Amino acid sequence: TKHTSCLESCVSSETGIPVSDCDILLYSLIEWKTESKVVKTEPSLTSDLSYKAGRSFFGGEKWVSAYFVLEDGLLYQYKTKNATKPDHCYIIEEEISSVERGVTSADFSVILRTGSRINLRASDDDNAKSWIEAIASFIQSYSSTAEYPVNCSLVIATKRLFICHEDHSTGFCRCLSHVQLSEVTHVEMNYETHFCCVYFKQCSPMQKPSSSKACNWQLQFPSAQHCEQFENTMKDCCYSISFNRLTTS
């Protein structure tokens, strides 16, 4: 199906394994308890913006029009408003460090953590101000270290566990974190509350965004049936993982 193909492409891009070898063994919607605070703008901020794309043939600045969407802590760039898939998707918490005003009141720049910048131009001063304030608000909201549940999906494929963010309106899928099954030591599950905690051999930055001390994933499944499917798939993939069932009493 189209959804499966999207997941396989996401797994392939993270692992370098050909799409044809990325068999999806398990897919489940989950809540991931993480320090990543994902908040929403209501309504989402959308508009046509121009981005600076180097120099033109005659040496002047080259500006290209595109359609931008800001929602759920993500900044999307589409070719046009009617495009079904984004050309770029930036996770604000992980990839964007700040936003700055430009030379003119309609210009502003999004500064990436890599040091590069995306130079943007709005239609007018008010539109630029709205974008600057909205992006800055997202950046500021991530300064808290409290834990928040994030709606995402759990995927088992290519002997790895993946936590992905999906935009079902566009079909866009992006991996938020992944870990080798061989790094999992044991799993605690509560079938009554549908809660699960996956423990790793060692703490790693790859195992939770924005945290160098993450030694486990805390997951909330929709039902006991999803818990059972996860446990059975994990056992089939890796016999060395031990499971401990918890009770609320």
Token pair, residue 106, equals: 């309609």
pLDDT cut 90: percent of the chain above it = 42
Class of 45-141 per CATH?
mainly beta
Q: What is the pLDDT of residues 66-75, one digit of tens each?
A: 999 998 788 9
Highest mean pLDDT among 13-22, 48-57, 153-162: 153-162
28, pLDDT greater than 50: yes
Fold adopted by 2-37+147-246: PH-domain like (2.30.29)
**Confidence check: pLDDT of 39 > 70:** no
DSSP state of 209: T
Q: What is the pLDDT of residues 63-122, one digit of tens each?
A: 999 999 998 788 999 999 998 888 898 988 778 889 999 888 899 999 998 889 999 999
Q: Where in the chain is the domain with CATH 2.30.29.30?
A: 2-37+147-246, 45-141
Q: Does a cis peptide bond (omega within 30 degrees of 0) precede residue 43?
A: yes
Long-range contacts of 174-178 (CB under 8 A, 24+ apart): 174/10, 174/89, 174/91, 175/10, 175/11, 175/13, 175/14, 176/32, 176/36, 176/91, 176/150, 176/152, 176/209, 177/206, 177/207, 177/208, 177/209, 177/217, 178/14, 178/15, 178/206
- Give the largest Cα separation in the chain, rounded: 74
Cα atoms found within 13 Å of the Cα of residue 45, Cβ hemisphere only: 22
Task: Note the pLDDT of residue 169.
Answer: 60
Write down the residue that tokens 């006991």 correspond to: 224
State residue 52's pLDDT score.
92
40/11: higher pLDDT: 11
Show the tokens assigned to 169.
């309106």
Q: What is the mean pLDDT of the chain?
A: 83
